[in-house]
């Protein structure tokens, strides 16, 4: 029987100790560029970022928009890496109307990137991620290894490190800590960022930097005001552009004035975050707050929680089957699956972003993800997803069944990974894919692109020369080991959607393998039907087959799924 995770959408939730009467007045970093936009390409880490990008800006300024050829030539990188930069930028841009975002896969180069967005994207490649937190009592957690499952009697083969991961989210920075870290980075670098967006003009014989309203709006790539559903544009929030006549071009503003205003807003936001965390750490625990890291005890580790920033957190699922559908995730544009183990998770919804972090011995089905999927620090996990792009980092012994429009990205310390074509469907899959812009006629699952083993964006020191080592790529799953994955119909009767089969065409070798398996199954069934057996012998054969099947269910762990589904 499945244990339904405790939902944090309580009708009477604990009040926030530090209420924010006007959340639209607070500035926030846009998390997407920092979470999905960093690329471990050594040539994008510049000795002097501002000087290099100022030169790049002058070199490319005659171009209205920048294609991969011009970018590769300017940065002296390969065209593959230049195209990767454009694809990644498109996945994290804040404007859905930008030609790069709207471009079809074969139109990306003709659309090109806006130079100002590209400059900002390249600048944040200097960002260093926040180091993971450590467990307050890691030794005590490690002492419980190995653990025994009362459900099936098998030892859970988790290492102490994995148990630390599974029992606490302390190893991941909290959302509030990450937001504060990102704001601090922007506070430190805002003067340089504004200088790259500004234009030089002569005022009374002296050079001065000014920012047009259009240039100012490009800061929306990095920051925003308000939470999901209540965002306001930067020019609406800024006093110097708020009342501009739409029929008249706004007067450019001195960059120093913009810097003062942005800096004051960032300082206020940092102060608010600090007060909120302090109040919650010193007050009663509120499990509904995804912005504070979970308590070290694992008693409340199973949770799903929506966030005001449009994310849903699914965390701590263990030895269970778990289902979330589009109606369950209404209002959430992204999902984060954290520290789930020995479970099967179905997240059958259209999403913009998805993150899978710190999971082990699990099967995770992600519906349709239109921007980016990131899978990190996972072991012995099967991930099935239809997505625009997928990045896999620091994973071991995992298999990825992909319907993906762009080349899967392999980064970090990966070991014994396999990729395979997409292998499932559910009734609303094609509608969800259409909602988020995934093309069923393009599947680049077998064209993995490996970048560096070392992530230059972490805050760790690395040996000289290691940054040039490429990440281990993924092998193709043997077609003879490829099987379809069946998603149950929990509602019975007629399904609401129109998808009746896998929308991605299988490669010939995998299709042939499936046909051989079906043929072998039919031949075996025919032999069993025709074998001359007495009634008691037929009963013995049937009993033996059922016993073997039951043994397989227990050995594979699938027996738990049957019990969970029966319980649902």
Q: Say which DSSP state 253 is in.
A: E
Among the listed ranges 311-320, 419-428, 554-563, which one has the minimum average pLDDT value?
554-563
Of residues 510 and 241, the one with the higher pLDDT is: 510
Helix (H, G, I), strand (E, B) or coil at 528: helix
Q: Say which DSSP state 312 is in.
A: E
Using one digit for the tens of pLDDT, what is the confidence trace for 439-485?
Answer: 999 999 999 999 877 767 775 555 445 555 667 889 999 999 999 99
Q: Residue 200's closest CA among 255, 239, 272, 161?
A: 255
Using one digit for the tens of pLDDT, what is the confidence trace for 368-424?
Answer: 999 999 999 999 999 999 999 999 999 999 999 999 999 999 999 999 999 999 999
Q: Mark residue 567 as left, alpha or beta (left: phi above 0; alpha: psi -120 to 50; beta: remaining).
A: alpha
Question: Residue 6: pLDDT band by 50, 70, 90 thresholds?
Answer: very low
Question: Residue 237: pLDDT band by 50, 70, 90 thresholds?
Answer: confident
State the DSSP H helix or E strand holding residue 36, giving kind and residue range, or none if neither.
helix 31-36
Tokens found for residue 9? 């959408």
Question: Residue 217: pLDDT band by 50, 70, 90 thresholds?
Answer: very high
Question: Residue 9: pLDDT band by 50, 70, 90 thresholds?
Answer: very low
Say what the pLDDT of residue 81 is: 95
Say what the pLDDT of residue 216 is: 93
Say what the pLDDT of residue 293 is: 42
pTM of the model: 0.83
Is there a contact between 422 and 386 (Cβ–Cβ < 8 Å)? yes
Give mean pLDDT, residues 68-97. Answer: 95
79-92 and 115-123 helices, crossing angle to 10°: 100
Say what the pLDDT of residue 230 is: 61
Q: Mark residue 13 as left, alpha or beta (left: phi above 0; alpha: psi -120 to 50; beta: remaining).
A: beta
User: ∠ at Cα 554 (549, 555), nearest 5°?
Assistant: 95
Helix (H, G, I), strand (E, B) or coil at 170: helix
Give, in order, the Cα–Cα distances in Å from 181 to each of 40, 218, 227, 274, 320.
20, 21, 18, 11, 35
Give mean pLDDT, residues 187-211. Answer: 90
Predicted confidence (pLDDT) at residue 19 exceeds the cutoff of 70? no
Q: Residue 36's closest CA among 224, 221, 180, 161?
A: 221
Question: Residue 286: pLDDT band by 50, 70, 90 thresholds?
Answer: low
Say what the pLDDT of residue 150 is: 34
Question: Residue 78: pLDDT band by 50, 70, 90 thresholds?
Answer: very high
Average pLDDT, the chain: 81
Of residues 42 and 249, the one with the higher pLDDT is: 42
Using one digit for the tens of pLDDT, what is the confidence trace for 544-562?
Answer: 888 888 887 777 766 766 6
Question: Residue 17: pLDDT band by 50, 70, 90 thresholds?
Answer: very low
Is there a contact between 376 and 395 (Cβ–Cβ < 8 Å)? yes
Give mean pLDDT, residues 113-130. Answer: 95
Say what the pLDDT of residue 305 is: 59
Question: Residue 489: pLDDT band by 50, 70, 90 thresholds?
Answer: confident
Say what the pLDDT of residue 502 is: 95
Among the listed ranges 177-181, 185-189, 455-459, which one has the minimum average pLDDT value?
455-459
Tokens found for residue 483? 């099987």
Say what the pLDDT of residue 283 is: 65
Of residues 238 and 382, the one with the higher pLDDT is: 382
Query: Residue 113: what are its φ and ψ, rounded to 5°?
Result: -105, 145
Helix (H, G, I), strand (E, B) or coil at 469: coil
Q: Say which DSSP state 334 is in.
A: E
Q: Say which DSSP state 286 is in.
A: -
Using one digit for the tens of pLDDT, what is the confidence trace for 241-250?
Answer: 766 666 667 7
Say what the pLDDT of residue 69 is: 95
Helix (H, G, I), strand (E, B) or coil at 85: helix
């Amino acid at each position: 029987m499945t244990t339904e995770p405790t939902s944090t959408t309580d009708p009477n939730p604990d009040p926030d100790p530090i209420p924010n009467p006007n959340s639209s007045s607070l500035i926030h970093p846009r998390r997407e560029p920092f979470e999905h936009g960093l690329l471990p390409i050594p040539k994008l880490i510049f000795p002097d970022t501002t000087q290099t990008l100022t030169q790049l800006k002058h070199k490319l300024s005659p171009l209205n928009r920048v294609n991969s050829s011009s970018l590769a030539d300017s940065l002296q990188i390969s065209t593959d890496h230049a195209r990767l930069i454009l694809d990644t930028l498109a996945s994290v841009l804040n404007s859905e109307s930008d030609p790069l975002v709207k471009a079809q896969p074969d139109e990306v180069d003709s659309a090109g990137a806006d130079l100002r967005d590209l400059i900002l994207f390249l600048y944040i490649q200097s960002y260093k991620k926040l180091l993971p937190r450590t467990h307050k009592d890691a030794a005590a957690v490690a002492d419980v290894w190995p653990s025994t499952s009362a459900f099936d009697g098998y030892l859970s083969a988790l290492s102490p490190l994995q148990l630390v991961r599974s029992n606490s989210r302390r190893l991941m920075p909290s959302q509030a800590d990450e937001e504060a870290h990102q704001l601090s980075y922007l506070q430190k670098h805002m003067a340089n960022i504004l200088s790259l967006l500004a234009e030089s003009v002569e005022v009374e014989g002296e050079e001065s930097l000014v920012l047009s309203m259009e240039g100012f709006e490009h800061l929306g790539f990095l920051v925003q005001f308000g939470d999901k559903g209540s965002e306001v544009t930067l020019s609406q929030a800024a006093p110097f552009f708020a009342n501009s006549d739409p029929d008249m071009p706004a007067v450019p503003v001195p960059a120093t004035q913009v810097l003062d205003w942005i800096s004051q807003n960032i300082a206020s936001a940092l102060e608010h975050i600090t007060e909120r965390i302090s109040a919650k750490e010193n007050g009663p625990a509120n499990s509904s707050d995804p912005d504070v890291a979970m308590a070290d005890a694992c008693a409340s580790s199973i949770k799903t929680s929506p966030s005001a920033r449009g994310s849903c957190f699914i965390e701590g699922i263990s030895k269970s089957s778990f289902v979330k559908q589009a109606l369950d995730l209404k209002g959430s544009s992204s999902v984060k699956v954290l520290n789930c183990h020995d479970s099967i998770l179905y997240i059958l919804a259209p999403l913009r972003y998805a993150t899978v972090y710190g999971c082990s011995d699990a099967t995770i089905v992600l519906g349709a993800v239109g921007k980016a999927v990131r899978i990190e620090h996972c072991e012995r996990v099967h991930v099935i997803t239809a997505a625009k792009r997928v990045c896999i980092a620091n994973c071991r012994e995992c298999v990825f069944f992909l319907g993906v429009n762009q080349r899967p990205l392999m980064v970090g310390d990966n070991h014994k990974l396999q990729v395979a074509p997409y292998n499932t469907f559910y009734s609303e899959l094609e509608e969800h894919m259409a909602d988020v812009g995934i093309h069923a006629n393009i599947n680049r699952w077998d064209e993995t692109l490996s970048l560096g083993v070392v992530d230059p964006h972490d805050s760790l020191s690395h040996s000289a020369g290691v940054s040039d080592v490429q990440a281990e790529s993924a092998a193709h799953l043997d077609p003879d080991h490829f099987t379809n994955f069946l998603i149950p119909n929990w509602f019975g009767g007629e399904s609401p959607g129109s998808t009746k089969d896998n929308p991605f065409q299988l490669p010939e070798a995998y299709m042939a393998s499936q046909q051989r398996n079906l043929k072998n199954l039919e031949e075996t069934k025919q032999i069993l039907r025709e074998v001359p057996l007495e009634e008691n012998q037929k009963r013995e054969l049937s009993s033996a087959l059922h016993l073997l099947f039951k043994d397989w269910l227990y050995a594979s762990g699938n027996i738990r799924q049957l019990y969970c589904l029966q319980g649902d």
